[in-house]
Amino acid sequence: MSRPLLSATRLKLWEQCQTAFRRIVIEGLEDPGGDEAHAGQFAHDVLAELMALPGDARTAARAGDIADRLESEYNAEHDWPDAVFDRGRLGVSGAVALYGGAWSGWEVLHVEEPIHTDIDGVPIRSTPDLIVRVGDETVLLDWKTGRPPRRDDQPEAFRQLVIYAILAKRTGLVERVDRITLAYTTGRQVLTVELTPAMEHAAVSELKQAAREVDDALVTGEWGLNPSALCSWRPCVADCPEGQANTRQRIRDGRKVGRFGLDAAGG
């Protein structure tokens, strides 16, 4: 069996739990997602349409119009509760609060442009949310509707964008990326750093190491298992006793769990 095409998201999953990677990426276990993921998708879709408009049309009113239309379309396609759209709209309004006074002056270069290339022998794909020119800088920005990371976790959070930036440059999508930005719209917090060669070198090294580990697992059939708080948010917990035990303990501790974990734990 050959190694599957990697992405920044799949690399993160590999590091979190190799068995989850096998079940979801290798075996194709479908993850229909939960309400938070759907809310994030809705917010991303609204913002993608908004950013594709001319600068002076990127208004709060236009964002509301796009959200109204997409909610009507999605209601016809999905059985999502109203809370999904309410949370998604919070993400959109957060983006307006963060950038609405400035983004009319952005030169939007690319909106959700899929890119696929080889990085030092490792084929990889990704889709950056947004690449813009702001003054003299090229900025790669990713919208996030979840909770901002703790300070110690910020380098890992940025690594996904570092990979996006490497892909964008190596495919010729842009000549350079000066800055990478995580915009946590629901929490209305922006994390931004200058992209450095050291960050790119570290990301490439980690990518190559993960690819070697995936190749080894495909040969040996040995997949590491890492039960954690994330188990209850993944469909593979349904056939993972260790993940179920972790979920049951979290329930006993009164901690939040995802719906997959609730189903697997019988609650």
Same domain, 49 and 129: no
- pLDDT higher than threshold 80 for residue 241: yes
For residue 145, what are the domain limits?
106-214
Confidence at residue 177, expressed as pLDDT on a 0 to 100 scale: 98
Of 104, 138, 162, the last residue of a domain is 104
The DSSP H or E segment spanning 124 is: strand 122-126
CATH number of the CATH domain containing 196: 3.90.320.10
Per residue in 135-152, pLDDT tens?
999 999 999 998 898 888
**pLDDT, the chain, mean:** 93
Domain count, the chain: 3
Tell me if 13 is assigned to some domain. Answer: no
pLDDT (mean) for 191-220: 95
Beta strands in 49-119 (DSSP E): 107-111, 115-119
Same domain, 98 and 118: no
Whole-model pTM: value is 0.90
Same domain, 112 and 201: yes
Same domain, 111 and 91: no
Structure tokens at 240: 């993972």
Residue 166: pLDDT band (50, 70, 90) is: very high
Confidence at residue 172, expressed as pLDDT on a 0 to 100 scale: 95
CA distance linking residue 90 with residue 193, whole number of Å: 25
Confidence at residue 114, expressed as pLDDT on a 0 to 100 scale: 94
